[in-house]
Amino acid sequence: MLYKAMSNAYSKLQSPALPATGTESGQLSLSDLQGQAVVVYFYPRDNTPGCTKQGEGFRDHHEAFADHNCLIVGVSRDSLASHEKFAAKYQFPFPLIADPDETLCRQFDVIKEKNMYGKKVMGVERSTFLFDRNGRLVREWRKVKVPGHVEEVLEAVTQLS
């Protein structure tokens, strides 16, 4: 059931009508994603230590992902302006999608209750989804810990080839 929901979310991600605005190409559309594997990673917030390390990991391995015809897309609730500054500061060669209204976050079920300094808040659970060239969800990672994660995702992408 969850895989079907993720595949539906992927279909919606591809829809030109979806307000998925990114730093690299503006609106993300079906033609941007067709025929290639796609890694969609959700992270809590721009310019925080863990999110920066995660983005740097995908940046540092970007060529290896590209060698396997795999697009990387980062998503958080931050604004497009915040994403543009974050991407420029760390030279991210992949789009960051602004999702301030949590449309994608909710479709991928990554909004979770978290404990921040003793208070319960709703936030983005660091998660990664891998889709094959046919748009099928083939792997997901929930409650991601940053160290070693990008390498694990790259290994899964390598196995798709």
Catalytic residues: 51
Q: Smallest Cα–Cα separation from 122: which of 132, 130, 112?
A: 112
Angle at 120 between CA 119 and CA 126, to 5 degrees: 115
SS (H, E, C) 18-50: CCCEECCCEECCHHHHCCCEEEEEECCCCCCHH
Dist. CA 33–CA 107, nearest whole Å: 18
Q: Which residue has the tokens 């070693």?
A: 148
